[in-house]
Each structure stands twice: as C-alpha cells, then as structure tokens.
Chains A and B, each alone.
Chain A
Amino acid sequence: MQFNVKFFASLAERTGLTDITLDAHQLTTVADVWDRATDHQSRPANTLCSINLVHARFEDHVHDGDEIAFFPPVTGG
C-alpha cells in the first residue's frame, strides 16, 4: 500500500516531515499512518487529520493511494 502523507504548520516543524510517500503494509487506520510515518513520535492531543482533502478521525480506515494529512487546529480568517 502506498500513501501520500502531509504535515502542516507546527506539526511539520515538530516532526521534521512535510510531504512524504509512505510504502507500508498492514496499516488500517489514520492513527497507524501517523505511527509509521513519524516512527511512533508522540502525537499532540489536539492534532487534526484528513483523508483525501476531507476532515477525518484517527480511527477512520485508510486505503491504498490515499492522501493523509496531519495538522494543528486551524487559525484562518
């Protein structure tokens, strides 16, 4: 399975990751993708995520080819 994984804002600085391609098997949920992409770095409690440009939850299932993003609470407007 292959995933495009993105990190934004303070989470990009914290993890040292911005945009990576993750080749991995046995990943079921968004939380699994975080753990594998960050090598099990701790995840801030207020971290948000999306699957294919739509807000998601960490327990949501992922599929081959998905774009997964992780970001802190938003502050636009």
Chain B
Amino acid sequence: MAVRLSGVVFDPWQELSQQAANLPKGKHGACASFVGTMRDFNLGDTVQSMTLEHYPEMTQHFLDNTVAAACTRWDLIDCLIVHRYGDIRPGDAIVLIAAWSPHRAEAFDACHFLIEELKARAPFWKKETTDHSTRWVHDSTAD
C-alpha cells in the first residue's frame, strides 16, 4: 500500500507499472485505476495554470487512513495513490488511484471509493490562473 504526495510532474502509467511489478505474481486478477488530469478550461475560461495547495500532514494522514479503510472493506492485494501539489500545467496528471484485487468488482469498488473520498474530504485546494484572473476553485466534487 502506498500513498505519495508529489511536488513535481509524475507519469501515472510509469507509477502504475512500477507498483504492479512489485506485486506477487498470480495473486491479483484485476487492477482498476483512475487518473485525473488538469484541463485547460473551466467555467467558460481558458486556464493557463493551477496551484494546488494542501495541508501536508493532514493529507497524508487522511489518505493513509482511507487506504486502510478500503483494505478493511474489500479484499485488496494492493492500493496506490499519488497526488500532485504545487504548480501544475494543463495536461499534467493530478492524481492516480489504483486498486489490485483477486476479482474486478472489488477493484472497481475500491478505486471508486478512494477517489470519491479523496475528492470529498482530502485537504487540497485548487487556485487557477485564467486569461483574465487568478481565482480559487470553489467546488470540484462533480468533476
């Protein structure tokens, strides 16, 4: 199980591949993953860049506990969360969630649970720079 907060660009597919390479062979039958990527538009404006502020200690604590809760609820072989903070450009990966389990239903359910909990409760805040202004994003739960 791994939760990592990254201040620099990361390649979600490389992260996924590296994590999978360390798993025991033949134990998992499914991997469900989610990758969130920064868009260059929001609310009708072109977005040039974004700064993602976070509360480092609480973020780590919250995500570690959320992964532990997922492992209690579903039969998981492994979980991985990687989340960016700092200055982000359109096209950059913001978040990677992955769950490995013996069967697909548990992998899907755990992956869905992890991203929904993260979006609803993990202490991150987006501030985006558009062609016209810099503004805080007020609600991204539906994105």
Cβ contact of B52, chosen from A50, A54, A76, cutoff 8 A: A76
Query: Which of B52, B118, B120, B125 touches A10 (beta carbons < 8 Å)?
Result: B125
Residues of A within 8 A of B115 (CB): 77
Chain B contact surface mostly: mixed
Interface contact B55-A6, CB-CB below 8 Å: yes
A77 near B36 with CB under 8 A, answer yes
Closest to A8 in B: B55
Closest to A71 in B: B123
Number of A residues near B (Cβ < 8 Å) is 16
Does the CB pair A53–B138 fall under 8 Å? no
> Does B122 lie within 8 Å of A73, measured CB to CB?
no
| Stretch from B56-64, B67-75, B98-106 contacting the other chain | B56-64
